[in-house]
Each structure stands twice: as C-alpha cells, then as structure tokens.
Amino acid sequence: MAKTHINDIIKEAKTYLPNVDGERILRGYEFAKEAHKGVFRCGGEPYIEHPLETASILMHFKPDEDSIIAALLHDVLEDTDITADEIEKEFGARVIPLLKGLEKLGKIKYQGQERQVENLRKMFLAMAKDIRVILIKLCDRLHNMRTLECLKTEKQKRIAQETLSVYAPIAGRLGIFDIKSELEDLCFRYLHPKAYAEITNELESITGFQKRLIKSGSELLKSTLKKEHIYGQVEGRIKHAYSIFKKLKRKNKNFISELYDIFALRIIVNTEAECYQALGAIHKHWRPLTRRFKDYIANKKNNDYQSLHTTVIGIMPKMNRQPEAIQKLSQQPVEIQIRTKGMDEVAKFGIAAHWQYKEKGGYSIAVPEHKLNWVKSLVTLHENLKSNSEFVETLNVDVFHDRIFSMTPEGDIKDLPQGATPVDFAYSVHTDIGHKCKGAKVDGRIVSLDYKLKNNQVVEILTSKHISPNRYWLSFVITSHAKSAIKHWFNTQERGNLLKEGKDLINKHLIRLGSKKLTGDLGKLKHYEGKTLNTKEREDILEKVGNGSVDAVSVAKKIIPAERLRAQEIDSNTKKRVLAENINLIKKEDILITGERGYKTQLATCCDATVDDKIIGYITRGRGVTIHKADCRVLRGHEKKRFIEASWAGKIKPTYRAQLEIKKRSRIGLLRDIADVFAKNNLSILDLKISKTLIIETIIGNLSMLDRLIEKLQQIPDVFEVKEIATKKPKKKRAKEMEKTAV
C-alpha cells in the first residue's frame, strides 16, 4: 500500500474546498510530527504515519478544514505533554472540541461483557456531541485495524472484538457501509483465522471466474437497459468475506457455491423515475423472485439508505465446461440494486454524504429532513442548511437528553434515566449492593446519596454489612427497580419489626400533636375511620405504617379527636409565627450539621431552641434535619440512629489538636491543594513537617470533623494515604495560644 503524503491531502482538499488554507493543514502535520518525534509504532514506522493515514481515510468523506487538522492532531492531547491551550494558540478554538471529544472517546473500553455492548454504543454516540468526532474516530480505528498484524495475538483479538462489537455497528447505523464492511473483514481475520483463510482461499480460487461472470452480467444488463433508452453505470461486486461467513453459519452451509446472492449488480442512474423504469425493464427480460423485492426508495431505511433491490434468475452466462462449483455460481440468482448517484453516495458514506460542495469559491449544504434511528432515540436534521458549520451544529448526536450513562470503576456502563441518584445506580449494579449502600463516590469525590448523577461519571458505591434500606430513599430514587427493591425489602421484614417501626412512627406524631402514646392493646385504634377493629386489624395498620404503604401522620391525625386536633394546629401555627418574628435563625448557614453548612434544616416548634441552647439534629423523612434542644422531652423514645450532631455557626471552638501523616507522591501544587482543603474547612495549620511524608498539626472542633478532613485529603490527586498519628484535647490555657499561633 502506497504511503500518503501530506501534499496529497492538501491537493485533494482543494478539489472541493477552493478556499482551504493549505498552509494551516501543513502546519498541523508538522506540529503532530514534532509532537510524536522519536515515537514509533509496533511495525517500526514513525508514529506520524498513523495520524497521516487517518486523515487520508477521512478524505473520502470530504471533511472540512478543521476536521482534517483534528485527524492529524487526534493523538497529541492524549499521548503527549502538549496542552489544549498550546494547540488553540496555534490552530484556533474550533479544533479543540473535536480533539477533546476524540480524547474522551479514547477512554471508552469494551470490557468483554456482551450485556454492556448496547449501552457502550449508546454512550459512544452520546459522548460525541459532534458527528465529525465519530467520523474521525472510525477512520482512526480503521487504520489501526489495517496495521494490527504486528501486535501479539491476545491483543489483536481484544481490539478486533471491541471493533466488531462497537465500531462496526456504529458505522452501520450511521450508514457508512464502506467502513463497516472493511472493519468486519479485518476483525474476521483475527477472530476466526481458520474460517477467514478457508473463505478467502475459496474466493481466490474462483476470482478469475468471478470477474468474468460479473463482467458478462454487467455488459448484458447495460445493453438491455440501453435498448430501453435507460443510460447509467453498471457495477458488479461479490459479498465481502465476513458477510459470507455469517451467511454460511446462518444457512448451515460449508461452501460458497452452496449460497445464493453471492453476486450483486448495481445500476446507478440520474433520477428517481429512471430507477423504476430500470426495474420495469429488468423484470421484463428476467424472472424475478417476488419475495426478494425491496423498495427502499419509497420506504427508506432509518439511516437514510435508499435503493431498489430485486433478485432475478438467468442473468449470468452459463459455464457448462467449468468445474461444478463454477457452474453453480453462474446459475445463482443475482441481486440487482438500482439507485441514483445521490443515493449511492449515501449508501457508501452514510451521514457524511450530506457534505455536498457545490459553489465555486465556497460550498453549500442541502440536507433533507429525516430521522436517524439510533436505537430508540431520534436526531432531526433540518432542511436547507446554508453552511457546513450549521450542518455540523444541527447534526448533533447528543440525543439522549433524557438518559445518562454512568460507569462503575471497572468500566461497566449503566444506562439510567436523567435525575438518577447513587442509590439508583447501586440497585442497577445488584439488589444486594443497593440494600447495603452506605455512601458513594462520584469521579473520586464523596457525594450525598440523593446527588443527581450526570452523564459519563464514574460511580463507586460504598457498602456496609451493617446498613439496610432507608425509607427516606423512596423520596429521591427514580428508577422503578430501586423503588420496588426498597419496598420489597421492607415488606419482607419480620412482622414484629414492622409493627414496632409502625408504632414508633405513630407515637412520634401523636406526641408532636399533643396526644398520648399508643398503649399495649392499641386501644386508640379500636375505633378507627368509623369501624371497630379487632387486635389483628389494629396490628395490620401498624404493619402498613411500618412498611411505608400508609403514612404515619395521617393515622395519628385520625386517632386524635377533631376538636383537639384543630386546637393543636392553631397552637402550633401561633408558635411558628412567634418563632419567625423573634428569632432570625432560619438561614441554613446559621446551623452546622456535623460541623458543616448547607444541610436542609428546620427548627422544631416543640422546644423553640435559641442560640444559647445546646442543640441536636433529628433526621426526618423527606424534610431534612429538624433542630431540637439537646434536652427536648419530645425526643425521648425516638430512634437513636436518626440523631445527628448539630451546633450554631460561630459557636464552635477548637477543642482537639490533631496530628496527621500524609503519604504522597511529590508534584508541583500538591501543598497548595492540601492547604486549600484546610482553608475551605476553616481549619488552621499549626505545624508542617516535610520529608518522605507530610506531618501536619491542626486544631479541630470534633472527631467527626477530623474524619471528614481525612476523607477530603485522601481525595487529592497523588495523595495515597492519610492517617491520624495523635489526637488530644488541648488544655484550656493553651487553646487561645494555639489559635494565635495558627497559620
């Protein structure tokens, strides 16, 4: 195969882009060449040959100038120390989104699980917000497959399987069948070498006869159409190797000569009307197989493919004196495809065929409105676009606006609805993972369980055998699987636990509403909603409250006499009004939960806590944290696991001196990042010792704050481990001194 020269690419670009900046393309080549200087591919050739050949393949699609530059530079960001800013300074801002899109796609890997293939394909397109990124990536992969022979067998098979599972189907769904067919044949060679050799050897053994058959059939077809005053091109082809392999397996055959439709003839005419005229002429002279007729002009495919397909008998010349296999080939029915030149461009290049350069000194784009069916999503392309940039902007494949794609740290992809949370993600991995979910890291950072996941994030679920589902989760999970799994877990708990949970919940609201708790015989429930209930029916109500199917508040309100309930509501509203008028402590920033701001909080009306009171938080279901006085009598009998540390902002004084050891890898900016964590948490650095590890002393409010500090320090890149060496409560005499000496 002849090597491509950069001047060949520039020369070809000028044939359809008269105003192309050839010097800019040449600079792109020289820039990439310098960036990859001294690097060689496994075959021994300089690395620059790869981006050059990628750009050469891309030229079949008549790309714009920025796409050519991006193809030449496509590995620079990922494989060298050159930054996006340096590239932007040299080639402008328009090329950067293409390069970053290519860099992101390069990180997607097929892990071998067949169940994730469809999600991987969808994620591939959802991540590529510009169709040009996908085209460049396909050309990049095609050249890699063409030069795969120098790699080890195991790696060849892995790359080939990834290509066959992801890249070839994407090319097919975008209608780029030339690339799809070549990718499939190259994958076939490495994944099934024995079958590949058998099929290619059989094809080679009949190559001469193939050409004669196709030539004779083409000439006969062309002369027949000419008699009917229909003029156009006639081409012939034989199916590619992987297509034959699949058909042999599907039909349970061993030899090519046993198959039908190995040959195909293609007629290319000028107008749609001539397509149907040619079809009539063919059916007039040869007998068609009626079940094999397809009208893809009137009913075009979702990827915009259009053509008439018919299969006829007797168009190939007889070869009686030839071997039996050749005679069988000549007697086969032959598929004939009939299309216009424009339809043929779409059949070869798919979406990329819509780049139509027409005007001298410039170009214009004409794109018919149609639907590109990518799985279940639609991309609408507008009519009469006036520029290539407008076409590219419109042909945006980020169509999964109602879906997100998140990955496990192992690379397994989860397809979730927009608004999904880490708990939804956990249940999508496995029901048991969801049940034991105690926390989550997103892209390496701790997030809350109700955090809304975004596209392309890596999610790590933290589990504990001591954790079980929380009914509060039902207020924010959105996937049906997570909701049903959580409800099922509660429904399958022991009846006794559910009865206790239900009774505790009702009692809590009875106390809040100024009423007494339920007694052992559940006497308050004896007369309920106008009915007299026996013991089992009363327990059934507790069970329904316990499993979450009935709201505890509504049950409590039905138990309390209406007059008392109205009086209680009036009293409660009065308390709320007085509290709002006299205490300006409603802002979230006035209350710290476990030493941090930003939590959803509300002041309990039962005890009217003020800044002079010690306070405690109680985690409610769906309403955040309710703040009570620490000695509030209403909290007696409440669930201990729901209590959480709370304090007034500005009231916390450093009470602990902590010494931390940080194991790290040295890099520029590491100390700045560490200091930034302390600053953001309003913590002072008392002392700092630097050796193989860092020893930092600080003063801190409480031990839970220390745990959070360690966790945040561990999230800093190049920090391997953070551990506490010593923590002690300082003497009162030393507390002020430590604050003064803090840096």
Q: Catalytic amino acids?
A: 78-79
- Give the whole-angstrom CA distance, residue 237 versus residue 225: 19
- Give the whole-angstrom CA distance, residue 555 versus residue 618: 21
Mark out the alpha helices in 430-477 (DSSP H runs): 431-435
Instruction: Tell which residue, 504, 439, 508, has the closest CA to residue 473.
Output: 439
Positive or negative: CA dihedral 182, 188, 189, 194: negative
Bridge partners of 336? Answer: 265, 310
- Give the whole-angstrom CA distance, residue 481 versus residue 430: 10
All residues at 6 or more sequence positions from 555 whose CB lies less than 8 Å from its CB, including other chains:
506, 509, 541, 545
Bridge partners of 656? Answer: 700
Instruction: Tell which residue, 551, 546, 413, has the closest CA to residue 116.
Output: 413
Instruction: Tell which residue, 273, 351, 339, 349, has the closest CA to residue 310.
Output: 339
- Give the whole-angstrom CA distance, residue 108 versus residue 141: 13
Concatenate the DSSP letters of all residues of 542-568 into one string. Answer: HHHHHTTSS-HHHHHHHHS-HHHHHHH
All residues at 6 or more sequence positions from 441 whose CB lies less than 8 Å from its CB, including other chains:
447, 459, 460, 462
Give yes or no for a contact between 429 and 461, defined as CB atoms under 8 angstroms apart. yes
Mark out the alpha helices in 399-549 (DSSP H runs): 422-429, 431-435, 480-491, 495-512, 535-546
Three-class SS state of 308: strand
Give yes or no for a contact between 416 and 425, defined as CB atoms under 8 angstroms apart. yes
Q: For the chain, what is the largest distance between any 2 Cα atoms, rounded to a whole number of angstroms? A: 113
All residues at 6 or more sequence positions from 605 whose CB lies less than 8 Å from its CB, including other chains:
572, 575, 576, 579
φ, ψ of residue 111 in degrees (nearest 5): -90, 0
- Give the whole-angstrom CA distance, residue 342 versus residue 355: 11
**520 token code pair:** 């052992």
Q: Kindly report the length of the chain.
A: 743
**692 token code pair:** 């193989």
- Give the whole-angstrom CA distance, residue 5 versus residue 35: 18
**325 token code pair:** 């296999």
- Give the whole-angstrom CA distance, residue 287 versus residue 266: 17
CA angle 700, 667, 99 (to 5 degrees): 115
**592 token code pair:** 């710290």
